[in-house]
Structure 1
Amino acid sequence: MSCTVPDGELRALEARVATALATADDTALDILGHGEVTLVLRLRTAEGAFACKRLPVFPDRERFERYRGVLDEYLRRLGSAGLRVAPTRLWHMELPSGRVVGYCVQPALPERRLCSRLLHTEGEAWAKDFFDRFLDRIEAVVTPSLGLDAQAANWVDLDGELVHLDITTPLMRDHRARERLDVRLFFTSLPWVLRDAVRLTMTRSIFDKFYTPRGVVLDFLGNLHKERLDALIPGFLEQANARLGKPLDAAEVAAYYASDARMWELIQRLRRADRFWHRRVRRRPYPFLLPPAVDR
Structure 2
Amino acid sequence: MKKELYDLTIEEFVRLLCGMEEIYSFELKMYLDSGDVGKDEIRGTYDEICDLLTCLSLKYPENKTIQLQLDKIKNSTFDYNMQLSMLDVYNYLEKKTQGFDKDRTGIVWHEMSMYHCMYIDEERLDVINKKIGNGWKEYKVIEEKDHITGNTFTSIDYKDAYEKEFGIAYDFFYDQAMNLLKNKMEGGDINSSKLKTLPKELSTDEARKWLQVAINGGLLNADYSTTDKTRTKPQKALLAEILSDKIGLAHKYKPFETLWNVSGLSKSRYKSKEEKGIVKGGNIIIEVFEGK
Give the greater-gyration-radius structure (CA). 2
TM-score by length of 1: 0.26
The structure with more strand, counted as a fraction of residues: 1
The structure with more helix, counted as a fraction of residues: 2
Using CA pairs under 8 Å that are at least 6 residues apart, name the structure with larger relative contact order, 1 or 2. 1
TM-score by length of 2: 0.27
